Amino acid sequence: MEISIRLKTIADLINNCESMADIGTDHAYVPIYLVKNNLCKRAIACDINKGPLEKARFNVAIEGLDSKIECRLGGGLQTIKPDEVDSVVIAGMGGNLIRDIIEERLDVFKSLKYAILQPVQNPDILRKHIYDQGYEIIDEELSLDENKFYEIIKIRYSNEPKQLEDIYYEVGPKLIEKNHYLLKDFISFKIDNYRKICSYINEDTSFAKGRKKELECKVCKLEELLRCL
């Protein structure tokens, strides 16, 4: 089974895994890929919706992996017990929702070796929350899939809160440390996107002016970061 560039990048961050859970599994592509390639011995595919879970069950059965991949209906980490799995993948959701999923079952999160998070919106909010809570960011990745950038964050429980400059919630320090090959293109994309949003703000209200100033400040900081790479 072939998987997308985004999902392959997520899967490549899985290591030392006996068991994992894929939260919001949809078609169960990640668990199937991991088990078939002996990257994980067993997996739990979870989804809050019956339709996607039925697709997941079908795909697992077609691959002959019923004995190694269990499909469970439920939201977030509610279907997982502490110490039941080594790691979880929470991908394809907004950063706020991913944050809430972790916090509502902190007992499960604390028992994990690591969690791999891939927010589709508000990655900066999620990253700030991770640092504010003192969780450890083990690694970060970028993928470019069908002309869209995806940020992937690998974390584990810790208790050492940190405060960073806002720019490092926009662009993860790990990506800068490793001089990721997509980093310059990613920052350029963010600059172009913020400039485009600025061009659409034409209202003369204090809120609009404040929002425009905020975006212009982000652009300046991103340009400065880009020059340093």
Which token pair is 63?
A: 């691959």
| Domain 5-163 -> CATH class | alpha beta
R_g (Cα) of the chain, nearest Å: 19
| 3-class DSSP assignment, residue 66 | coil
Model confidence band, residue 14 (pLDDT cutoffs 50, 70, 90): very high
C-alpha distance from residue 209 to each of 122, 205, 212 (Å):
22, 6, 5
Find the mean pLDDT for residues 164-191. 97
114-121 and 87-94 beta bridge pairing: parallel
Task: State the pLDDT at residue 208.
Answer: 85
Quote the Cα angle for 189-202-165, to 5°: 45
- Single pTM value for the model: 0.95
Residues 90, 94, 95, 98, CA torsion sign: negative
CA-to-CA distance for 111 and 107, rounded, in angstroms?
A: 7
* Cβ contact 155:130 at 8 Å: yes
* Cβ contact 153:125 at 8 Å: no
Each residue of 9-20: b (16+ CB within 10 Å) or e?
bbbebbeebeeb
For the chain, the average pLDDT equals 96
Per domain, the residue ranges of the chain are 5-163, 184-228
Model confidence band, residue 46 (pLDDT cutoffs 50, 70, 90): very high
* Cβ contact 25:46 at 8 Å: yes
* Cβ contact 92:118 at 8 Å: yes
Structure confidence by residue, pLDDT tens digits, 107-124:
999 999 999 999 999 999
Find the mean pLDDT for residues 197-216. 89
Structure confidence by residue, pLDDT tens digits, 64-93:
999 999 999 999 999 999 999 999 999 999
